[in-house]
């Protein structure tokens, strides 16, 4: 496979290009000397933690509500507090990884994530748990793009890089799939607080792995101003949307606070678009979202596909975790085990099939197949009923994991093959921000749909809506994706 021409945020002189190329070469040499496999191990382990904590609390929500006296909206905020901070800050975190070096940014995120996990486990109230989850999500936002940037820098060869990315995506996807299983088992065996306490030794191990790797050179750039307007407006836009959907489901969408939240989100979105446009045209500026990156169809389509597939996966895990326990009256252990086969399927497909499929037919076709398959899987889930035996529920869940497993490796390979190493953190931040926004909004919207009293009807409406979103995205990718050689 070949790598596309490097995409730069703006036109650069030949001297600047030569400097960036020299930086990439030096970075790759340093990483090779330290051992690319150790870099991959450190990156994968931390990404696993990030993915696990995005989903691990789903099955534990009823126990958390009983312990801390929360309702459905509170349960949504325990999940979306993490996802919202994760999404809102990842844009600037990706740029941070490029600016100070991926290894330094990753280590900083790991320390913050471990400390925030301790705060989650010790939280005496729902409000403080949500605050701690926000901090945990903020730290995760630094870890994820930095971990992918480390992989990008450690494997300059496209073939080796695609295999490494397949392992990296497998870790994150398996962690997300394993989250409900781990959450159910830990909650039933010990207490929901241990979901977070177990991150302490895991975080220490990840830091030990990172300590044995070489430093990542920061991108060679001139002095620039931090994009504060972009950061603040993106946070307000995402927070307003999430608040509007979550509180709208419980308080009503016509209430003043909800309308104000949606209004603030709309204004902030316009401010963000204007700020990034101005920053992209300003010399020595460093926009959170360099608009030149979106001249690549690979970047735009990967962001759209990531949004859709995460909306589907997060929404399904959230709503079925509640459905199995509240409507089906299943225990946390049984609920968690119902999701166990998903973990095996995701890991197996990511490691054995997904990267090979991209190599054979191209990232665009792989993404299209995965998106269409995931849309079909959403409709299959309409057959879920509380009286179905466990084996039947598992069979209905497996198609979600199987089809969705083709999307994330393909979109990641497409993006990482279209950007130079010194822009890998920013590119990873943009794509994964889109994914997390999809997950956060999905939980908020589906929570609003089921909050009206008809849980099953709301769940069905959400599944049909996600299927429609996936199909529209699949058609867009099919007709606009770059050719195989340009995307790989």
311 near 80, Cβ under 8 Å?
Answer: no
DSSP states along 341-367: HHHHHHHHHIIIIIHHHHHHH-HHHHH
225 three-class SS: strand
285 three-class SS: strand
Distance (Å, rounded) from C-alpha 122 to C-alpha 131?
Answer: 12
Report pLDDT for 461: 94
Report pLDDT for 31: 47
Cβ contacts of residue 38 below 8 Å, gap of 6+? 209, 212, 213
4 near 418, Cβ under 8 Å?
Answer: yes
The alpha-helical segments, DSSP class H, found in 291-389 are 297-322, 332-338, 340-349, 355-361, 363-380
Cβ contacts of residue 322 below 8 Å, gap of 6+? 61, 62, 75, 450, 455
pTM score: 0.70
* 259 phi/psi in degrees, rounded to 5: -65, -40
Both tokens assigned to 48: 């696993």
HSE at residue 40, side-chain half, CA atoms within 13 A, is 20
Q: What is the CA radius of gyration of the chain?
A: 21
- Separation in Å, CA 312 to CA 11, 132, 145, 437, 438: 38, 26, 22, 12, 8
Distance (Å, rounded) from C-alpha 77 to C-alpha 125?
Answer: 13
Distance (Å, rounded) from C-alpha 122 to C-alpha 144?
Answer: 25
- Separation in Å, CA 239 to CA 75, 90, 136: 16, 14, 16
Both tokens assigned to 422: 């010194």
Distance (Å, rounded) from C-alpha 141 to C-alpha 164?
Answer: 21
Report pLDDT for 429: 72
Cα 63 to the chain's mean position, in Å? 25
Expressed in angstroms, the distance from the first to the final Cα of the chain is: 6
State the architecture of 28-215+288-487 in CATH terms: Up-down Bundle (1.20)
Distance (Å, rounded) from C-alpha 436 to C-alpha 50?
Answer: 12
Find the helix or strand (DSSP H, E) in which 130 lies: helix 126-154
Number of continuous H segments (helices) and E segments (strands) in the chain:
21, 0
Report pLDDT for 32: 55
Distance (Å, rounded) from C-alpha 441 to C-alpha 86?
Answer: 13
Residues 56-94: tens digit of each pLDDT: 887 888 888 888 877 767 777 888 788 778 777 777 776
- Separation in Å, CA 15 to CA 20, 355, 373, 473: 9, 36, 47, 40
3-state helix, strand, coil in the chain (%, to 5): 80, 0, 20
Which residue's entry shows tokens 């083709």? 406
Distance (Å, rounded) from C-alpha 136 to C-alpha 130?
Answer: 10
Both tokens assigned to 11: 């036109």
In this prediction, the residues of the chain whose per-residue pLDDT falls under 50 are: 1-31, 33, 222-223, 485-488
């Amino acid at each position: 496979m070949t790598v596309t021409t490097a995409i730069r945020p703006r036109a650069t002189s030949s001297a600047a290009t030569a400097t960036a190329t020299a930086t990439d070469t030096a970075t790759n040499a340093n990483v090779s000397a330290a051992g690319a496999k150790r870099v991959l191990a450190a990156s994968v382990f931390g990404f696993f933690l990030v993915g696990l904590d995005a989903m691990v609390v789903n099955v534990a929500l009823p126990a958390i509500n009983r312990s801390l006296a929360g309702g459905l909206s509170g349960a949504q905020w325990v999940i979306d507090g993490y996802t919202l901070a994760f999404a809102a800050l990842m844009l600037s975190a990706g740029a941070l990884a490029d600016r100070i070096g991926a290894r330094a940014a990753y280590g900083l995120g790991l320390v913050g994530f471990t400390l925030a996990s301790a705060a989650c486990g010790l939280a005496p109230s729902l409000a403080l748990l949500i605050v701690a989850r926000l901090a945990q999500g903020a730290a995760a936002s630094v870890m994820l793009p930095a971990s992918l940037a480390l992989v990008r820098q450690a494997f300059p060869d496209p073939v080796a890089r695609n295999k490494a990315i397949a392992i990296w995506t497998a870790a994150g996807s398996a962690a997300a799939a394993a989250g409900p299983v781990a959450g159910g088992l830990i909650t039933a065996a010990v207490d929901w607080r241990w979901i977070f306490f177990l991150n302490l030794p895991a975080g220490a191990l990840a830091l030990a792995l990172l300590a044995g790797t070489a430093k990542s050179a920061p991108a060679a750039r001139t002095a620039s101003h931090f994009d504060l307007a972009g950061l603040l407006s993106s946070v307000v836009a995402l927070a307003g949307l999430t608040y509007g959907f979550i509180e709208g489901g419980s308080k009503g969408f016509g209430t003043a606070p909800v309308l104000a939240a949606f209004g603030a989100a709309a204004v902030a979105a316009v401010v963000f678009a204007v700020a990034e446009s101005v920053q992209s045209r300003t010399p020595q500026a460093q926009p959170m979202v360099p608009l030149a990156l979106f001249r690549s169809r690979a970047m735009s389509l990967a962001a759209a596909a990531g949004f859709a597939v995460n909306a589907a996966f997060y929404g399904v895990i959230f709503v079925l975790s509640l459905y199995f326990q509240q409507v089906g009256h299943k225990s946390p252990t049984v609920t968690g085990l119902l999701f166990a086969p998903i973990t095996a399927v995701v890991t197996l497909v990511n490691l054995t099939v997904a990267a090979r499929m991209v190599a054979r037919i191209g990232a665009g076709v792989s993404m299209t197949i995965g998106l269409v398959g995931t849309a079909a899987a959403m409709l299959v889930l309409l057959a879920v009923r509380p009286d179905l035996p466990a084996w039947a529920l598992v069979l209905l869940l497996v198609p979600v994991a199987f089809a969705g497993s083709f999307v994330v490796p393909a979109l990641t390979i497409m993006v990482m093959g279209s950007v130079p190493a010194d822009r890998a953190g920013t590119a990873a931040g943009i794509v994964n921000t889109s994914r997390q926004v999809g997950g956060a909004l999905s939980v908020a919207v589906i929570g609003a749909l089921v909050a009206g009293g008809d849980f099953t009807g709301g769940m069905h409406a959400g599944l049909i809506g996600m299927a429609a979103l996936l199909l529209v995205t699949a058609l867009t990718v099919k007709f606009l994706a770059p050719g195989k050689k340009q995307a790989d």
